[in-house]
Structures are given as structure tokens and as C-alpha cells.
Amino acid sequence: MQKLTNRAVQIDRSPMTFAERAYLPAIAKGLGTTLSHIFKKKATVSYPEVKRPFSPVFRGLHVLNRDENGAERCTACGLCALACPAEAITMEAAERKPGEEKLYREEKYAAKYEINMLRCIFCGYCEEACPKDAVYLSETVMPSNYDRAGFIYKKEDLLIPHPHKKDAK
């Protein structure tokens, strides 16, 4: 019969030897492959003691920014929540009261600001949408957690420390 392609493989149907039936050539071949890897450079690292460098465009855990005096930059405009394709951001706006100028930079601020990290896809759209330079994605890797509630990051978790107050948020 004429061959359709030249890729046909001739199968050896001769009876197997005792060694072949005992898988000895296959075992020797497998051990050879294993031994050859002993002298090769390791493809793995001992994480978490050793960490690989991240890409320069890596996007990690979110951070809520303060201005140089420590006042919260977020004005609760909602643009980040609007830009978020995963609908991960929720917030509640509040009016700044007289005397709170040092706490909040704008007349309106986020009384509540939450990001659901289980929804977040770390796309960075919230950072791009923010007109106040208030939210950005840091180089911190999102920590794991045993509890779903632990992935809901509140304003207190996201705010960077106050630049002039020690141990203060």
C-alpha cells in the first residue's frame, strides 16, 4: 500500500528479552537522566529564605498614601472603584470637620475604604485612575491567609504609617 506520509514508524515486534521484561534498560535510562541532573544548575530556589527578584513592573499589595504632612490623600471620589474591573473596592465618603485639616487633605475623605483582595486581579487600574496619588500598588507580595475575611483590607490596613508619628497609622 502506498504511504500517505513519510512519518510512518516501523514497530519492532520481536519478543522481549528477560532484561527488557524486568524493565532493566528502562530503569538504567531513568537513573541516567536523574544522575545527569545532579551536575546541572538548580532550577529551583529555597523559598522563602531565597527570593527571586521581581519584574520591575510587579504590582503587589495596595497602599493608601498620605501627603508630606501625614494627611490622608484620598478624597473618596470613587474613581478607583469605578475603574476597577473586579469591583473589589468599596468606600464611604464623609465631610471633613473643622479642625480635621491635619487628618484629611481634602474637604471630603474616605470614612471607610476597603479592598477585597480575593477579587482583585492586581491590574493597577485603580492606581492609574486616582487623581490624588492616593492609592498605589506596592512591591509587597500579598500574604496568604486561612480566613476569607482576612483578605478584606480596610483603610487601617492600607494606610502608610504617619511620617511624623512613631507607631501611628
- Segment 76 to 105, residues that bind ligand SF4, using CB under 6 A: 76-80, 83-84, 86, 88-89, 91
Whether residue 80 is annotated as binding a ligand: the answer is: yes
The three cell numbers of residue 122 are 492586581
Q: Does residue 111 sit in helix, strand or coil?
A: strand
Interaction of residue 75 with ligand SF4, rule CB under 6 A = yes
State in angstroms the smallest separation of the CB of 131 from ligand SF4: 6
State in angstroms the smallest separation of the CB of 127 from ligand SF4: 7
Interaction of residue 158 with ligand SF4, rule CB under 6 A = no
End-to-end CA distance of the chain: 82
Contact 105, 133 (CB under 8 A): no
Residues that bind ligand SF4 (rule: CB under 6 A) add up to a total of 27
Q: Report the residue number, 115 or 159, with the smaller CB distance to ligand SF4.
A: 115
* Separation between Cα atoms, residue 147 and residue 133, nearest integer Å: 31
Residues linked to residue 79 through DSSP beta bridges, in sequence order: none
Preceding peptide of 143 cis, ω within 30°? no
Cell 487628618 belongs to 103
Interaction of residue 115 with ligand SF4, rule CB under 6 A = yes
Interaction of residue 159 with ligand SF4, rule CB under 6 A = no
For ligand SF4, what does the binding mask look like between residues 13 and 52, x meaning CB under 6 A?
Answer: ----------------------------------------
Cα dist from 11 to 8, 29, 86, whole Å: 9, 20, 55
Q: Does residue 99 sit in helix, strand or coil?
A: coil
Q: Does residue 38 sit in helix, strand or coil?
A: helix
Nearest to 104 by CA among 125, 126, 132: 132
Binding residues for [4Fe-4S] cluster: 74, 77, 80, 84, 120, 123, 126, 130
Binding residues: 74, 77, 80, 84, 120, 123, 126, 130
The residues of the shown chain that bind ligand SF4, judged by CB under 6 A, are: 74-80, 83-84, 86, 88-89, 91, 110, 115, 120-126, 129-130, 132, 134-135
